[in-house]
Structure 1
Amino acid sequence: MKHSRRQFLLGLSVGVGSSIVLSGTAWADAANTLSETDPKAQAVGYKEDATKVDKAKFPTYAAGQNCGNCSLFQGKATDAYSGCTLFGDKQVAARGWCDSYSTM
Structure 2
Amino acid sequence: MKTSRRHFLMLSVGVSSSLMLSRAAFADTANALSEADPKAQAVGYKEDAAKVDKAKFPGYAAGQTCANCSLFQGKPTDAYGGCTLFGDKQVAGRGWCNSYSNM
> Which TM class, normalised by the smaller chain length?
0.7 to 0.9
* Percentage of matched positions with identical amino acids: 76
Per-residue CA distance 1:31-73 (angstroms, 9 max, x = gap): 1111111111111000010000000111100001111111101
CA-based RMSD of the aligned residues comes to 2.2
1:22-61 correspondence runs (5 A): 22-61=21-60
1:14-93 correspondence runs (5 A): 19-20=18-19, 22-93=21-92
Distance 2:44 2:95 in 1: 10
Flag structure 1 segments of 5+ consecutive residues without an equivalent.
Answer: none
Q: Report the TM-score, using the length of structure 2 for normalisation.
A: 0.79
Distance 1:69 1:17 in 2: 34
Count of residues in Structure 1 that have an aligned counterpart in Structure 2: 101
Q: Report the TM-score, using the length of structure 1 for normalisation.
A: 0.78
Per-residue deviation at 1:93?
0.9
**Which aligned segments of 4 or more residues in structure 1 are displaced greater than 6 angstroms?**
10-14
Per-residue CA distance 1:72-103 (angstroms, 9 max, x = gap): 01111111111110000111111100000001
Going from structure 1 to structure 2, the CA distance change for 1:78 and 1:20 (only over 3 Å counts) comes to closer
Per-residue CA distance 1:4-49 (angstroms, 9 max, x = gap): 3867xx7878866664554344333311111111111111000010
Distance 1:50 1:61 in 2: 9
Is contact 2:66–2:92 with CA below 8 Å preserved after alignment?
yes
